[in-house]
Amino acid sequence: MTRGPTWFNITSLVLGFSFLYLPIVLLVIYSFNDSRLVTVWGGFSTKWYASLLQNDQLLDAAWVTLRVAFTSATIATVLGTLAALVLVRSGRFIGRSLFSGMIFAPLVMPEVILGLSLLLLFVAMDTARGFWTVMLAHTTFAMCYVAVVVQSRLVGFDKSVEEAAEDLGCPPVKTFFLITLPIILPGVIAGWMLAFTLSLDDLVIASFTTGPGATTLPMKIYSQVRLGVTPEINAVCTILVGLVTIGVIAASLVTKRQHAQRERDERAAFGADG
Amino acid sequence: MDTEHVAAPARRSPGAWLLIAVPYFWLFLFFLAPFLIVVKISLSQTAIAIPPYVPTFDLSEGWQAFQEALSAFSFENYVWLTEDALYWRSYLSSVSIAAVSTLITLLIGYPIAYGMARSPQSWRPTLLMLVILPFWTSFLIRVYAWIGILKNEGLLNQLLLTFGLINEPLVILNTNIAVYIGIVYSYLPFLVLPLYASLERLDGTLLEAAEDLGCPSWKAFWKITVPLSLPGIIAGCFLVFIPAVGEFVIPDLLGGSDTLMIGKTLWVEFFNNRDWPVSSAVAVILLLILVIPIVLFQNQQQKMSEKEG
């Protein structure tokens, strides 16, 4: 579309984004509230953040969550990248539509079903439930998101560079690490970050698949929220929102810079030719 | 998939087979096999034991035992689901809550996506980022943020009381209205993103041509913009509707005790009543309800990616 925005467009953008952001902004503001009453403003204070540092249970849960998220995101990125390569590169093979079905279905499948089915699997396998089962569960649904993100990067991929390397005698595995991976890297990194935040965020699947000693932060937050809104929970949420915001903005700046660098390189290369 | 790159299966090296086998095996073990177990347990009988069910058959006893077991399958959990009004009312109300929320999300999301597509090129990356950012922040936190706003002594009621728009606090939290707000709010980015993608690609000259020929702009919108953005509308609506049907966190935190949604019913059945066979049967039926929209969604996605490739 080429024509400029009308007043109607601008109003709907302003209203739409206020709707998206106001609740989170209010939550952040009230985490600095001195009063315990969540709706009465009692002056600026950081005491809820200080009290978080004393809350060992919450810190333990945060540590478990970070470990689960880091491990599952890393494995999911490897598996998801492989799955994306299969989807885009492997052509037809027996069971291909089953394979792509298994990649896309978890994206829309209700979490209660995924959680329940994985729990029943772990029970059937007679596995002790805890850190590892939550990690495996998160890996499984996160790898599908990674596959979709990496796939979109692979679709717009110039295959001639790879073919050139192979014609010059480069073995396929080496071609992958020297050529394919660097080109799809932004997609792989975005996939890892998505997998990491999905795991950080998940309540339902973790509740089903966890066992004693592996309470994650969302489970902790959920059990507290059921008792009511407290400034401490606001403070935890503010920290999480802050971390994610910094991460996403940093990642987008890095991609932007890489993009600009590549454009400069390309211009320089063409300039040298002519 | 573009056909040019499709390799003939005969040329595939052992390494290429391994590449397929690893993710395939993983998904088979951790995604497909668990469903078969859910189906199996939904056909078992409830028991007070650990785990709390009596298996109807045991595969380790061989084919003969399996055949015997087949005749002894217990469908009583499914019969139970049809007899107790709680379950089918939960299914119906989940589907209707999800459908209404999807419609509201579309009505709110369309002007946003439209405004983004009409904005100057230089704004677009920032606007896109602003839509994606809430998607990255915790779902639980975003739902939780609404509790402080919607409750009786919450921020919304305080604001309305201060301005004298109402005389007594509105009861919104723990009603279905709060569930609608929660679903619309949480899933809005899922609808705006695909919609924006299809609106952005729309050829502006078509609208100019319509205008030159004297077509009023509202008519041009209905005749050109809406039909051409239909793939985005469909993809966005599926992305909201399907997960919303099985939603647990939103009805649990924002809804009241009379808010019936199947995700919540399954959760209660599983964690509070510890009835694994019945919750498995609930899951199987939920999956059957969602299979049609999921398959439609996948076909549409495949068609779109083929068009792009």
Per residue in B246-276, pLDDT (tens digit) is 999 999 999 988 888 999 999 998 888 888 8
Residues near B68 by beta carbon (within 8 Å), at least 6 away in sequence: B57
The nearest CA of chain B is from the CA of A102 a distance in Å of 7
Which CATH number does B87-308 carry?
1.10.3720.10
Structure tokens given for B135: 């998607």
- Residue B79 in contact with partner chain A when CB distance is under 8 A: no
CB–CB contact A20 B134 (8 Å): yes
**Whole-number Å distance between alpha carbons of B129 and B271:** 38
A272: closest CA of chain B, how far (Å): 30
Tokens of B38: 């859910």
pTM score above 0.80: yes
Q: Select the residue from B138, B264, B271 to test the A interface by mutation, using most A Cβ atoms within 10 A.
A: B138
Alpha-carbon gap, residue A104 to B294, rounded angstroms: 9
Domain ranges of chain B: 87-308
- Taking only the tens place, the pLDDT of each residue in B24-48 is 999 999 999 998 888 888 887 766 5
- Using CA coordinates, name the residue in chain B closest to A91: B6
Query: What pLDDT is attached to residue B220?
Result: 85
Q: For residue B204, which residues of chain A lie inside 8 Å, CB to CB?
A: 1-3
Task: Tell whether the model's pLDDT for residue B64 goes beyond 80.
Answer: no
**Residue B161 contacts A where some CB pair is shorter than 8 Å:** no
Contact assignment for A248 to B133 by CB distance below 8 Å: yes
- Nearest CB among B32, B35, B129 relative to A252 is that of B129
A229/B144 Cβ within 8 A? yes
Ramachandran angles phi, psi of A62, nearest 5°:
-65, -40
B25 touching chain A per CB within 8 A: no
Which burial class, exposed, middle or buried, applies to A176 when counting CB atoms under 10 A from its CB (0-12, 13-18, 19+)? middle
Q: Is ipTM beyond 0.85?
A: no
Rounded CA separation B285/A113 (Å) = 11
Is the CB of A79 less than 8 angstroms away from the CB of B23? yes
- By DSSP bridging, strand B45-46 and strand B53-54 are antiparallel
A205 has a pLDDT exceeding 90: yes
B273 reaches A (C-beta below 8 A): no
Domain boundaries in chain A?
58-228
Selecting from B6, B205, B263 the residue whose C-beta is nearest the C-beta of A110 gives B263
Which residue of chain A comes nearest to B154, CA vs CA? A39
* Dist. CA B252–CA B174, nearest whole Å: 9
Cβ-count burial of A99 within 10 angstroms (0-12 exposed, 13-18 middle, 19+ buried)? Answer: buried
Which positions ≥6 away from A274 have C-beta within 8 Å?
none
Percent of chain A residues past pLDDT 90, beyond the cut: 28
A16 and B246: CB-CB below 8 Å?
no
Peptide bond before residue B14 is cis, with ω within 30 degrees of 0: no
Residue B5 CA to residue B2 CA, distance in Å, equals 6
Contact B185 A106 (CB under 8 A): no
Residue A272 has pLDDT above 80, yes or no: no
Q: Choose between A126 and B76: higher pLDDT.
A: A126
Q: Which residues from A are below 8 Å from B38, CB to CB?
A: 113, 116-117, 120
Taking CB atoms and an 8 Å limit, are B28 and A102 in contact across chains?
yes
Q: Which chain A residue is nearest to residue B237, measuring alpha carbons?
A: A108
Lookup result for tokens 């309470």? A215
Per-residue pLDDT tens over the stretch B170-210: 888 889 999 999 999 999 999 999 999 889 888 778 888 88
Q: Is B140 on the interface with A (CB under 8 A)?
A: yes
Chain B residues within an 8 Å CB radius of A255: none
User: A58-228, which class in CATH?
Assistant: mainly alpha
CB contact under 8 A, A113 and B287: yes
* pLDDT digits 0-9 by tens, A147-195: 988 988 888 777 888 888 888 888 888 888 888 888 888 889 889 988 9
Q: Indicate whether B107 pLDDT > 60.
A: yes
Q: What share of chain A is helix, strand, coil (3-state, %, to 5)?
A: 80, 0, 20
Cβ–Cβ < 8 Å for B183, B244 = yes
Checking if the pLDDT of B3 tops 50, the result is no
